[in-house]
Homo-oligomer: A and B are copies of this chain.
Amino acid sequence: MPAGGSPEAPLAILCGAGAFPLAVAEEVRRTGRPVFLIGILGSSDPAIEHHPHAWARLGQFGRLVELARGAGARDIVFVGALSRPAGWLELRPDRRLLMLVPRLLRALRGGDDHLLRAVVGAVAEHGLQVRGVHEVAPGLMLPAGPLGQRTALDTDTADAVLGFRVLAAMSPFDVGQGAVIANGRVVAVEAAEGTDAMLVRVAELRASGRLRLPARAGVFVKAAKAGQDLRMDTPAIGPKTVESARAAGLAGIAYAAGDVMAVDAERMIASADAAGLFIQGYERERA
């Protein structure tokens, strides 16, 4: 069986927030495979209704798997941010999800990766294989090399390599898909705040004078965690990342080739070119 599962059957896409689910749906359709989108009420972009779809609450685990199976899907991808509920009650869990609670609670103590693995296992028991974006839409994964007109300078590459080392060191702690390095100095490390908040922080540190750097210095570095299950949490960059990196005064964006997907790569690259930023992929052995 190919990496993407059963290509004749529709692919179910559980749609978190943001534009990524639609980008994946369109890329999968482009490869000739039908899709069935499951929107999360209050989270997903209403534009998912341009595709075959249904809506559910995140807590309706039984309904989610029945919708996917009912549409004939044997594979499912989870795309986009699914916000952590404040508690089980807010999630309004259905019976099937309630049965999973002890297992998920145990997994939660181990961090996001453990939780995600527990969810993958529970979904598989209902006859659905969880696939990764890199399997069903490999065309969205970004390659090695510069994407736009700019190329990283040697000093930028030195910062990028240091950044990949920082991210690798943070990997055992289930954190750290992003960092900002400038002139050999680790300026920011991403944890619960997410990429955009981290880049806003760098912009503010520069604006306040607490972080003194020449103009256009520093690299935003993005990679999957070592051993990260790409099926559940594909690192992604897009036009918004470029805008945040530009606002933070950075020279560019470095990513681990094959690990990171782009949403609207064309617009992202055009924005980077217009802003004079590089976006460059590094091979995993380097990254």
Residues of chain A having any CB pair with chain B under 8 Å: 83-87, 108-112, 162, 165-166, 169-170, 172-176, 180, 183-189, 191-194, 197, 201-202, 205, 209-212
Contact = CB atoms under 8 A, between A and B. Distances in A.
A93 to B, nearest CB: 16
7 contacts: A83-B210, A84-B212, A110-B184, A111-B184, A174-B185, A188-B192, A192-B205
Contact of A188 (B166, B183, B193): B193
Given A166-B173, A183-B109, A201-B201, A210 B192 contact: yes
Contacts of A191: 180, 186-189
Nearest to A86: B212
Contacts of A184: 108-111
A46 to B, nearest CB: 22
Given A174-B186, A189-B189, 6 more contacts: A86-B209, A162-B173, A169-B170, A169-B172, A180-B191, A188-B191
A34 to B, nearest CB: 35
Contacts of A210: 83, 192-194
A189 B212 contact: no
Contacts of A87: 212
B86 A185 contact: no
A-B pairs with lowest CB-CB distance, top 3: A175-B186, A189-B189, A86-B212
Nearest to A171: B169
Nearest to A201: B193
A170 B201 CA distance: 19
Contacts of A192: 185-188, 202, 205, 210-211
Nearest to A165: B173
Nearest to A183: B109
Nearest to A163: B173
